[in-house]
């Protein structure tokens, strides 16, 4: 019974929602890897010269900035840059200890992470998928508009009360031939000439 109720609760998603969710998950996963890689670089830098107080202070500052960095926000920015609609997220964690200088530095760090060489293949892949999705939506919209244009004359004629029948191929010729035969029988038209 538990499985049956789980099926009832399961929500049906359309293709766009599935595509956006997949992109969001992949971007978040890749950005987490990049963030971990960058933190490892910072720690290695500190390990080279642990006695240097200026280096230690700058590394500690970078650790704080990387800790504040929100992966979901970065994934959202990456998706928006490609024209994808990121899924709605809960309120981002607000850190009250981030100063204005940190905010500027945080934005610069976000920009550099979005240009990271490990993220570029994923961005290229999703750029192609977003373009394919846009083309599909464009084609579907054109089909709908084209159908609306084709039926517009009939709709106007129906609205005005006109009864307009479309001619089938050869219908005019058959009708003309029948009228000529009828006129010949009544004597109004001359008999066909044999030339």
pLDDT at residue 114 in the model: 83
For residue 132 the two structure tokens come to 């394919």
pLDDT: which is higher, 114 or 11: 114
- Render pLDDT for 65-81 as a digit per residue (tens, 0 to 9): 777 778 888 888 888 88
Q: Say which residues have a Cβ less than 8 Å from residue 80's Cβ, sequence separation at least 6.
A: 86
Domain coordinates of the chain in residue numbers?
Answer: 10-129
**End-to-end CA distance of the chain, in Å?**
88
pLDDT, mean over the chain:
77
37 contacts 116 by C-beta, under 8 angstroms: no
Tell me the mean pLDDT in the region 51-68: 78
- Between CA 146 and CA 139 the distance in angstroms is 10
Q: Is the pTM of this model over 0.75?
A: no
pLDDT at residue 94 in the model: 47
> Is pLDDT above 70 for 89?
no
pLDDT at residue 92 in the model: 46
What is the percent of the chain with per-residue pLDDT over 90, rounded to a whole number?
4
Distances (CA, A) of 181 to 16, 167, 169, 171, 194: 63, 21, 20, 15, 15
Residue showing tokens 């920009």: 111
| Coil/strand/helix, residue 14 | coil
């Amino acid at each position: 019974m538990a499985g049956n109720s789980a099926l009832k609760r399961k929500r049906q998603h359309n293709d766009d929602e599935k595509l956006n969710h997949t992109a969001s998950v992949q971007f978040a996963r890749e950005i987490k890897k990049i963030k971990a890689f960058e933190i490892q670089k910072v720690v290695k830098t500190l390990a080279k010269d642990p006695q240097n107080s200026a280096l230690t202070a700058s590394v500690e500052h970078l650790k704080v900035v990387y800790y504040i960095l929100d992966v979901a926000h970065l994934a959202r920015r990456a998706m928006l840059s490609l024209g994808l609609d990121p899924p709605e997220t809960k309120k981002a964690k607000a850190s009250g200890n981030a100063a204005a200088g940190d905010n500027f530095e945080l934005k610069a760090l976000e920009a550099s992470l979005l240009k990271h060489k490990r993220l570029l293949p994923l961005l290229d892949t999703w750029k192609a998928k977003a373009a394919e999705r846009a083309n599909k939506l464009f084609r579907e919209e054109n089909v709908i508009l084209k159908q609306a244009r084709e039926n517009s004359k009939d709709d106007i004629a129906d609205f005005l009360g006109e009864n307009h029948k479309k001619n089938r191929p050869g219908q005019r010729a058959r009708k003309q031939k029948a009228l000529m035969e009828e006129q010949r029988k009544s004597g109004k038209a001359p008999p066909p000439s044999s030339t």
